[in-house]
């Protein structure tokens, strides 16, 4: 069986951190008893990018380029390159690429599946050639932000299936919990740990209870979580872009807008797209440089060649990045730009700390109750973020032997160990799964009826909770009943009634139980059962209690 030595009858599982900017894959090495990262194209970190181009051998078809090569190609072929697709998972937005003079439309799940498929193929190859393991990865543990909606989780799983993993062998786990495993291994005392997960596209705060005793494997359970799925390193990149773009506007007297592809200002649409991609790339490099140094040089020479030659040569200081307020739209939609208009990097860090406060509040804790803070995600390397976290908690963040960029994937690989060898291998850490947000139904008057509470333990066989009251028809002679499911991401703390139109309520799905016997108001009764599996996926069953016994299974995303 090679160096890892496991039972292939259970299949081989891959730990996947599918990130907005970068992705990492890891496997559990049973010989050494630890997780190890699989290098893809010679590097541990793989840019989450794909570029399409016409297939020279099959006219009308597309070939693909992935990873670092695709990220670099974005500056030359921006219209055919897709970056940061994770931010679109769960949306109905189509992704349109131009290649060979033709437009091709994809769903976010299809693009994510393409990238995950590349990771799977390269991991399969590495396992065979470098580790001596025959076969391929049939299953995976793929991590998701703690604040993900059920639709985002479901689309992530769909992408993994499109990538070639078996549907029944795709498990979803929370990113902060996976990262905490890297911290918890080897712990011998009980602690409360805050995971500050500042990634490329999302921010999550998660508090974990680690119950550890000398000689026993640590037990991790999630106490609370709170996050923002639209706050991450991409937004810090946009701030750097804004600084550079202000210089560009000064050089051109504001007469050229490279983000308006419709206006006739002497710059071709193609050159504008190329300029946009080069600006994003230069901003990303400068931001990363400013995490290590007090200043960064930006050189784009030439930046434009028509109708005039424009070159940008400037220096950006760390202080300038931290205090610059966003001015330009930079091609973003109203909602995305509106969120950050006039905001500085300091404001963004304030937003992450506001999430931390909500997380502490949900757990009934204060900053002083936290024993350790664990930084996760590439954006946590921003000095301002690390410094502000240290100020808030009065201690320096935990210095892990594992890079924050690799910890999530390696934690996912430990989950793989639990799946592959549940009865044979002694687990090095145990993770207790819990529900994150309250789940329930919409009732008459748009009231929210909570069925599944937050913080409920999810046993290995899954959690099943029946609605505490049967639903009844609200009017005479109805032949159907609406079953509408909501997730309460920000429960009220003052005891006030919850309504589904309140901030923090997310409509997950809706369906109708059709064909129920018509009769007087309140005569027909319906039983509803919520089930949450270890894969963190929600299933809802509604059953008529009349003689007909009608049953409907709710697919959580039917009417999203």
C-alpha to C-alpha distances, 239 to 135, 234, 437, 467, nearest whole angstrom: 46, 9, 32, 47
pLDDT in tens, 75-90: 889 999 999 999 999 8
Q: Could you give the 3-state DSSP secondary structure of residue 335?
A: helix
Residue 554 vs residue 228, higher pLDDT: 228
How far is residue 548's CA from residue 551's CA, in Å, rounded to a whole number? Answer: 9
pLDDT in tens, 453-502: 988 888 878 899 999 888 888 888 888 888 899 988 777 767 777 899 98
- Average pLDDT, stretch 23-33? 88
State the DSSP string of 380-411.
GGSHHHHHHHHHHHTSPPP--SS-HHHHHHHH
**Given a cut of 60, is residue 547 above it in pLDDT?**
no
Instruction: Please tell me the predicted confidence (pLDDT) of residue 2.
Output: 39
- Rounded to 10°, the helix 345-363/233-251 angle is 160
Instruction: Please tell me the predicted confidence (pLDDT) of residue 557.
Output: 38
**Given a cut of 70, is residue 427 above it in pLDDT?**
no
Instruction: Please tell me the predicted confidence (pLDDT) of residue 6.
Output: 47
Please compute Rg for the chain using Cα positions. Answer: 25
Whether residue 317 is preceded by a cis peptide bond, meaning omega within 30 degrees of 0, is: no
Instruction: Please tell me the predicted confidence (pLDDT) of residue 424.
Output: 52
How far is residue 308's CA from residue 325's CA, in Å, rounded to a whole number? Answer: 29
Strand 480-488 relative to strand 46-47: parallel, antiparallel, unpaired? Answer: unpaired
Contact 302, 310 (CB under 8 A): yes
Instruction: Please tell me the predicted confidence (pLDDT) of residue 65.
Output: 96
Q: In angstroms, how far is CA 191 from the centroid of its own chain? A: 26
Contact 476, 520 (CB under 8 A): yes
H or E segment to which residue 323 belongs: helix 318-323
What domains can you pick out in the chain, each with its CATH number? 8-182+387-432 (3.30.420.40), 439-554 (2.60.34.10)
Contact 477, 525 (CB under 8 A): no
Sign for the pseudo-dihedral over CA of 86, 88, 94, 95 = negative
Instruction: Please tell me the predicted confidence (pLDDT) of residue 423.
Output: 56
Residue 245, beta-bridge partner list: none
Residue 352 vs residue 335, higher pLDDT: 352
**Given a cut of 90, is residue 288 above it in pLDDT?**
yes
State the DSSP string of 91-147.
S-PPEEEEETTEEEEE-HHHHHHHHHHHHHHHHHHHHHHHS---S-EEEEEEEE-TT
Instruction: Please tell me the predicted confidence (pLDDT) of residue 548.
Output: 66
pLDDT in tens, 498-540: 899 988 888 888 888 888 888 888 888 889 999 987 666 788 8
Cα 154-115-88 angle, rounded to 5 deg: 50
How far is residue 6's CA from residue 10's CA, in Å, rounded to a whole number? Answer: 9
**Given a cut of 50, is residue 399 above it in pLDDT?**
yes
Contact 103, 84 (CB under 8 A): no
**Given a cut of 80, is residue 187 above it in pLDDT?**
no
**Given a cut of 50, is residue 5 above it in pLDDT?**
no
- Average pLDDT, stretch 164-193? 86
How far is residue 314's CA from residue 246's CA, in Å, rounded to a whole number? Answer: 11
Average pLDDT, the chain: 88
pLDDT band at 422 (very low <50, low <70, confident <90, very high): low
State the DSSP string of 155-186.
HHHHHHHHTT--GGGEEEEEHHHHHHHHHHTT
How far is residue 128's CA from residue 135's CA, in Å, rounded to a whole number? Answer: 7
pLDDT band at 13 (very low <50, low <70, confident <90, very high): very high
How far is residue 351's CA from residue 229's CA, in Å, rounded to a whole number? Answer: 12
pLDDT band at 302 (very low <50, low <70, confident <90, very high): very high
Contact 224, 207 (CB under 8 A): yes
How far is residue 145's CA from residue 534's CA, in Å, rounded to a whole number? Answer: 16
- Rounded to 10°, the helix 383-393/345-363 angle is 40
Count the residues in the chain.
Answer: 560
Strand 310-317 relative to strand 295-304: parallel, antiparallel, unpaired? Answer: antiparallel
How far is residue 375's CA from residue 405's CA, in Å, rounded to a whole number? Answer: 10
């Amino acid at each position: 069986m090679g160096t890892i030595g496991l039972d292939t009858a259970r299949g081989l599982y891959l730990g996947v951190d599918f990130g907005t900017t970068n992705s990492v894959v890891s496997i559990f090495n049973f010989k050494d008893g630890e997780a190890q990262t699989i290098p893809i194209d010679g590097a541990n970190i793989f840019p989450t990018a794909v570029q399409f181009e016409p297939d020279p051998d099959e006219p009308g078809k597309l070939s693909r380029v992935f990873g670092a090569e695709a990220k670099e190609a974005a500056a030359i072929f921006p219209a055919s390159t897709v970056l940061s697709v994770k931010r679109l998972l769960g949306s109905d937005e189509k992704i349109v690429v131009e290649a060979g003079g033709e437009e091709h439309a994809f769903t976010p799940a299809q693009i994510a599946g393409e990238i995950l498929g590349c990771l799977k193929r390269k991991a399969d190859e590495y396992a065979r050639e470098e580790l001596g393991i025959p076969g391929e990865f049939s299953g995976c543990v793929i991590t998701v932000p703690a604040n993900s909606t059920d639709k985002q989780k479901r689309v992530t799983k769909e992408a993994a299936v499109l990538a070639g993993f078996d549907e029944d062998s795709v498990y979803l786990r929370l990113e902060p919990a996976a990262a905490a495993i890297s911290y918890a291994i080897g712990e011998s005392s009980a602690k409360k740990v805050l995971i500050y997960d500042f990634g490329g596209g999302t921010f999550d705060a998660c508090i974990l209870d680690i119950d550890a005793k000398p000689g026993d494997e640590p037990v991790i359970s999630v106490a609370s979580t709170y996050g923002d799925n639209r706050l991450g390193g991409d937004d810090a990149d946009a701030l750097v872009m804004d600084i550079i773009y202000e210089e560009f506007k000064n050089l051109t007297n504001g007469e050229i807008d490279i983000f308006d592809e419709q206006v006739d200002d002497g710059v071709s649409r193609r050159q504008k797209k190329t300029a946009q991609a080069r600006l994003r790339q230069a901003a990303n490099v400068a931001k990363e440089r400013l995490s290590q140094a007090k200043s960064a040089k930006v050189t784009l020479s030439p930046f434009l060649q028509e109708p005039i030659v424009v070159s940008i040569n400037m220096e950006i200081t760390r202080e300038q990045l931290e205090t610059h307020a966003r001015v330009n739209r930079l091609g973003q939609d109203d909602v995305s730009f509106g969120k950050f208009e006039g905001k500085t990097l300091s404001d963004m860090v304030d937003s992450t700390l506001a999430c931390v406060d909500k997380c502490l509040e949900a757990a009934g804790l204060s900053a002083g109750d936290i024993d350790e803070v664990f930084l996760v995600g590439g954006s946590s390397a921003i000095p301002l973020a690390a410094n502000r976290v240290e100020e808030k908690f009065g201690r320096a963040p935990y210095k892990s032997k594992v890079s924050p960029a690799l910890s999530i994937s390696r934690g996912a690989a430990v989950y793989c160990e639990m799946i592959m060898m549940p009865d044979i291998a002694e687990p090095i850490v145990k993770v207790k799964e819990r529900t994150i947000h309250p789940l329930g139904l919409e009732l008459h008057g748009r009231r929210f009826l909570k069925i599944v509470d937050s913080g409920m333990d999810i046993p290995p066989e899954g959690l099943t909770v029946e609605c505490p009251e049967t639903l009844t028809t609200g009017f005479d002679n109805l032949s159907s009943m609406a079953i509408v499911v909501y997730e309460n991401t920000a429960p009220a703390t003052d005891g006030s009634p919850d309504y589904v139109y309140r901030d923090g309520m997310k409509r997950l799905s809706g369906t109708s139980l059709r064909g129920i016997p018509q009769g007087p108001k309140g005569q027909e009764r319906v039983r509803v059962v919520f089930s949450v599996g270890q894969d963190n996926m929600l299933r809802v069953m509604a059953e008529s209690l009349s003689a007909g016994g009608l049953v409907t299974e709710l697919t959580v995303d039917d009417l999203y």
